[in-house]
Structure 1
Amino acid sequence: MSRSTARPRRIGPVLLACVALVAALAGCATGTDAVASGGTFDFVSPGGKTDIVYDPPASRGTIGALAGPDLMNDGKTVSVADFPGQVVVLNLWGQWCGPCRAEVPALEQVYERTRDRGVAFVGINVRDPQQDKAKDFVVDNRVGYPSIYDPSMRTLLALGGNFPTSVIPTTLVLDRQHRVAAVFLRALLAEDLQPVVERLAGEGPS
């Protein structure tokens, strides 16, 4: 079992305003809209904490193969495998989610500050059946990194059965080996995320 350290934050009313039903996974599409398989990630959240850090690095599990349609570019695919050797920040979001709208400037800020250090960001847009509205969200908020369009939440199967997929927004930070190094089950500020990303970027490739 993975060991973890975390600040003792608990899920508050604002975060719970964007709770999506876990049952949505039961109705996931079975076509080629998204791919998710494999992985060793074992989610551990002692005491209901919402900020979880997995250390030492040897305790980190890997997610499965995670890929899906590019939200903004029809016919293209976005995959975690597109970013070998890079720290990858995965952010689960929906344009219907108030806290997602609140945190997007912070995510974009950290992305711009760390991209030259081998850090990639990938959004996963969930439960947005109207793709145009999700695209408008990206344009209006000037989001510079790609997102997977996954209204059925099928890609989240790559995160393992024990992951609390009911909480949106959620952010996972993968180290350079694409092992899960941190999970945030809440909306983030730049000062929450940037130190974690910079520390992982400094760990090197091994």
Structure 2
Amino acid sequence: MRRFVRVAAAVLAVAAVTAGCGTGTDAVAQGGTFDFVSPGGQTEIFYDPPSERGTIGNISGPDLMVEGKTTSLSDFEGQPVVINLWGQWCGPCRGEADDLEKVYESTKDLGVAFLGINVRDLQQDKAQDFVTDNKVGYPSVYDPSMRTLTALGGKFPTSVIPSTLVLDKEHRVAAVFLKALLAEDLQPVVERVAREQ
């Protein structure tokens, strides 16, 4: 019976991750090597003041678009970075793609970098088509197995797709969004973090 319960829980966890859903008063995200409960079902979490922000490990993996190239968070040393977890199979990811691109283009002059992490896309060519069709100008790590996310160490909620993390210049987590974003949701946060000393 215990084995059945564990298997059923694992199936439900994977379904929640791929559907980007939460239920009840707490948003619960489970899967891979992490398990996070967002109190009160929050979909926007801010970490302030900056001195109390946590860091993540170095995210690194194969570049989605350039064969043989490795793309890493460390490529953007000293820059604020927006990390977006996405999949071409994810409807909300398609919906937010143009908004993310708009914020990327409008904050480049502030030194902000964007990094995508493409997850659970077993067919790389379909993920590449998503990038081309949506005119995404920033790089993505190709991570179908979600192994790259182990660098987060389970400290921050990221198992809802799409998820977006805003990192400050020291790559500390300033904000996490567990929902599809509009440019007007993301841009003020990115600009505020980019202007921090």
Distance 1:203 1:165 in 2: 24
Residues 126-156 of structure 1 deviation map (CA, whole Å, 9 limit, x = unaligned): 0000000000000000000000000000111
The separation in 2 between residues aligned to 1:106 and 1:142, in whole angstroms, is 11
Aligned residue identity for 1:90: I
Distance 1:92 1:161 in 2: 15
Equivalent residue number for residue 192 of structure 2:
199
More helix by share: 2
Q: Indicate the structure (1 or 2) with the bigger Cα radius of gyration.
A: 2
Matches of 2:20 and 2:90, distance apart in 1: 5
Are 1:22 and 1:165, in contact at CA under 8 Å, matched by a contact in 2?
no
Return the alpha-carbon distance in structure 1 between the equivalents of residues 142 and 18 of structure 2: 23
Give the structure 2 partner of residue 77 of structure 1.
Answer: 70
Structure 2 residue identity aligned to 1:186: K
Displacement, 1:48? 1.9
Question: What secondary structure does 2:193 align onto?
Answer: helix
RMSD between aligned alpha carbons? Answer: 1.9
Q: Deviations over 1:71-90 (max 9, x none)?
A: 00010011110011101000
Q: Partner of 1:18 in structure 2?
A: 20
User: What whole-Å deviation, never above 9, does each CA across 1:103-132 have from its counterpart, x for those lacking one?
Assistant: 000000000000111100000000000000
**Normalization by structure 2: what TM-score?**
0.82
SS at match of 1:197: helix
Give the 5 Å matches for 1:80-99. 80-99=73-92
**Residues 44-66 of structure 1: CA distance to partner in whole angstroms, max 9, x if unpaired?**
84322110010000110000111
Q: Which amino acid aligns with 2:166?
A: V
Q: Is the 8 A contact 1:18 1:98 kept in 2?
A: no
| Percent identical | 72
The alignment partner of 2:78 has SS state of coil
SS at match of 1:81: helix
Pairwise CA distance, 1:16: 7.8
User: What amino acid is the match of 1:18?
Assistant: G
Q: Tell me the matched-pair count.
A: 172
Deviations 1:5-43 (A, max 9, x none): xxxxxxxxxx98335x844x26xxxxxxxxxxxxxxxx7
**Structure 2 spans left out of the alignment, 5+ residues:** 1-16, 22-28
Aligned equivalents of 2:156, 2:194: Cα separation in 1: 24
SS at match of 2:59: strand
Cα distance change, pair 16–76 in 1 and its aligned pair in 2 (3 A)? closer
Partner of 2:169: 176
> Any residues of structure 2 matched to 1:40-189 within 5 Å, and which?
45-189=38-182
TM-score normalised to structure 1 length: 0.79
**Is residue 106–residue 188 contact of structure 1 (8 Å, CA) maintained in 2?**
yes
Q: Does the CA-based 8 Å contact 1:172-1:182 persist in structure 2?
A: yes
Name the SS of the counterpart of 1:65 in structure 2. coil
| Structure 1 unaligned spans of 5+ | 1-14, 27-42
| Paired position in structure 2 for 1:9 | none
